[in-house]
A and B are shown apart, each in its own frame.
Chain A
């Protein structure tokens, strides 16, 4: 007797849209017209370019983890343990880079630190240089962008971890004669280990799958994600598939290694979990020092956002050699709405992101119900399946979907979706599943399971219970997960560039083509709109 056919159905759906396409890619990488073959693998292995791309992806990711940790962890300590004027406002500002969609962040950096950006122009002006003093190219540029956007993971995880470290534990260490540094090294940091491992894993995966920064700034520097897209755009699908399989393998290996780091020695802190109060900085010099550094840092974080807004006001073709743009106009925003062809990407992104978010939330609610049920058969499998897309780099997912759904073979669950309006929302949906499920499942776990039973014993059926009890109580979790998922889908670039068609082109693709046409004002205007919608979504989503 199958007691949970619904659990089975959900597992089946998840396997079909998440695991199956990736498996097809792996199979296709060793399977030609004549059956099993290592020919494609060999072709991949013979190319020195491929090896350098693989190596590039790997070391960039490791370096990103190191850099993000070096910035994020001390910052987390400062904001959680020290008190100084402006701590609250600054503490919130510091998490700001997280709201910037990757491509938007990259073009903001381009306008700010690029060879024709504000900073370069200022230096040229001051020193009377003929040429830009640097070019924002290669590994250094990629790492700069990664450090800017990814330290937030370490910052947030460190703060979350520090909140849980019981004050009495630190006091116990002090009373046993341990000094401040020894306590930090031997008590606090080991207790933070699970959080730091989680942040490292998140950073590693994000950096490994990062596409926007290497694509715009890479120049001759190769990483796997750009390599895959280049192969795909050159029409060499076979090479793209092998490269995708290789990147997926690196992602899996990274996941496995870092998981083990965090999991094997995860410590459960006992105690009531009262964190030590933030120590107020008493010395005036330290106070003002901390405040000044804090605000300087905040200004640096805000500069890309401000830059984007300024550039979005530049009329087409007016800003040539001047330090700051000579003219400002709102025309770039006007044409965004008045010209149907410019409005289209906006509309496309909005409906595709909405559909993907609703779909992902639906799946998350479905999964959540099954996972918290006391004896649902497939709960473990479903929990794993909803988190899997998170470990799949966006490029891998895009190539996998492009492979799986470019063939009509209904009896093995394959239809031609590539080139239709369905494929991009589907890709966004798959990428959104772990985001939505993470939040919704956490919400479900906090629900008292007897609330459902109470409703049932009062005569409420499944639908009424869901409508009147479960969903209202989960609303904060649904909103938070939905907002994050929506913002992610709205700003997506990495899967879009593989799967878009002219009719379904999203904002990110339009930003890219505006940039190519040197219409920087429009590109920035799209970026600002994207940034604002994401910010509004996040504010709505995290409101209590």
Chain B
């Protein structure tokens, strides 16, 4: 990254013997949005708290625009934060909440203008005099964003920004959030455990697992070219099969048949491998991996079929995306794959 505005360098945080974050290096370009994606316990919230300054790292550094801020208190960092439960001050009005970070800046009129500007940004003009408790969840979320943006922070941090909203509200709020962030061109880091949210909001996505960075990249990079088995299975739908390499670009599946595979990490002939394949990369064919259709989930014109393959230790389910009429439950079928990935076999 040439244009790195926010730089995390070998960040490590331990709680007792447990390393919540270890050796994390990441960079975020000015004005871009980075999603921290991972299951619970992956260290993504800890990373955000380290960025905000609420926790101090045991090792490593955080720099903004080339200046080290690791030792700065949260109040001196100028990082805006939107909390998971918003943390709006319940005893203050909407306007007073938004103005909280503006204390001592400019005149009363300047501050009032800035508050109005921020309320307009999140499309809540005229809500200034309301009590916070009188707002809906979605409105509270937008006020939290407005409050964090008002003092013109250098970086905006969001902790699970949409997790407290009704599913019906999420889609819309996500679009509005995306638009607001683009309008102010704010360098942003946000945390989520939902891939869809990470892909929709993030310019780039960092996948964390057990405190370590698995991979960082754009959504298509992560989906099409996952570099680890964890990323391949955590991001998007995928079926997992045991196999042994046959040459360096094909794998002999334990369940039978041989599929061509790509290998993000070099795998020699004969090594044990785990093959990962997306539903849309598998199709019904005249010959190939033999199995039986055991289930079907319709999504309109197309359907996801579950096909049981192999037996004993080699038994597995493969998900196939195909036209609705391609097969029926109970059919004996053969499967071909045009784009499968092989990773070193998991140590079991």
Interface residues of A (CB under 8 A from B): 448, 450-451, 453-461, 464, 468-469, 472-473
Contacts and interface: CB of A to CB of B under 8 A. Distances in A.
A176 B148 CA distance: 55
B151 A459 contact: yes
B91 A453 contact: no
A179 B90 CA distance: 46
A448 to B, nearest CB: 6
Contacts of A461: 75
A137 B80 CA distance: 70
14 contacts: A450-B84, A451-B89, A453-B83, A454-B89, A456-B75, A457-B52, A457-B81, A458-B75, A458-B80, A458-B101, A458-B147, A459-B75, A459-B101, A461-B75
Interface string B96-114: 0000110100000000000
Contacts of B74: 453, 456-457
B254 to A, nearest CB: 46
A454 B82 CA distance: 8
A455 B100 contact: yes
Query: Main SS of the interface on chain A?
Result: helix
A501 B101 CA distance: 53
Q: Which of A450, A454, A464 has the most CB of B within 10 A?
A: A454
Interface residues of B, number: 27
Given A453-B52, A473-B90, A458 B83 contact: no
Contact of B83 (A450, A469, A472): A450
A464 B87 CA distance: 17
Interface string B322-346: 0000000000000000000000000
B78 interface: yes
Contacts of B84: 450
B227 interface: no
A126 B217 CA distance: 99
A456 B54 contact: yes
Nearest to A465: B75
B73 A454 contact: no
Contacts of A459: 75-76, 78, 101, 103, 151
Contacts of A453: 52, 54, 74, 81, 83, 87
A461 to B, nearest CB: 6
B87 A448 contact: yes
A456 B52 CA distance: 9
B259 interface: no
B91 A458 contact: no
Contact of A460 (B78, B81, B85, B100): B100
Contacts of A448: 85, 87
Given A459-B78, A460-B103, A454 B83 contact: yes
B79 interface: yes
Which one of B53, B79, B91 has the highest number of Cβ atoms from chain A below 10 Å of its Cβ? B91
Interface string B129-153: 0000000000000000001100100
A458 B87 contact: no
Contacts of A454: 81, 83, 87-89, 147
Pairs of residues from A and B, 5 with the lowest C-beta to C-beta distance, nearest first: A458-B101, A456-B74, A450-B87, A457-B81, A454-B87
A450 B77 CA distance: 17
A455 B92 CA distance: 13
B85 A450 contact: yes
A460 B102 CA distance: 10
A461 B147 CA distance: 17
Given A454-B83, A456-B74, A473 B91 contact: yes
Most chain A CB within 10 A, of B81, B87, B157, is at B87
A469 B75 contact: no
Contacts of B103: 459-460, 464
Contacts of A460: 75, 100-101, 103
A275 to B, nearest CB: 25
A180 to B, nearest CB: 41
Contacts of B151: 458-459
Contact of A458 (B54, B100, B157): B100
A450 B89 CA distance: 10
B148 to A, nearest CB: 7
Nearest to A456: B74
A453 B151 CA distance: 16
Given A453-B87, A459-B151, A472-B91, 5 more contacts: A448-B85, A456-B74, A457-B52, A457-B81, A473-B91
A448 B140 CA distance: 16
Contacts of A468: 100
B263 to A, nearest CB: 44
A464 B81 CA distance: 18
A464 B52 CA distance: 19
A457 B151 CA distance: 10
A460 B103 CA distance: 8
Contacts of A451: 87, 89
B5 to A, nearest CB: 18
A454 B89 CA distance: 9
Nearest to A448: B87
A472 B151 CA distance: 23
Interface string B59-82: 000000000000001111111110
A377 to B, nearest CB: 14
A472 B79 CA distance: 25
A389 B87 CA distance: 35
Contacts of A458: 75, 80, 100-101, 147-148, 151
Contacts of A455: 89, 100
Nearest to B101: A458
Nearest to B78: A459
Contacts of B83: 450, 453-454
A454 B147 CA distance: 10
Nearest to A453: B54
A393 to B, nearest CB: 40
B73 A456 contact: yes
Nearest to A449: B87
A473 B90 CA distance: 8
A473 B85 CA distance: 17
A461 B52 CA distance: 15
B255 to A, nearest CB: 46
Contacts of B100: 455, 458, 460, 468
A456 B83 CA distance: 12
A257 B325 CA distance: 74
Contacts of B73: 456
Interface in B259-306: none
Contacts of B88: 454
Nearest to A457: B81
A469 B90 CA distance: 9
A461 B53 CA distance: 13
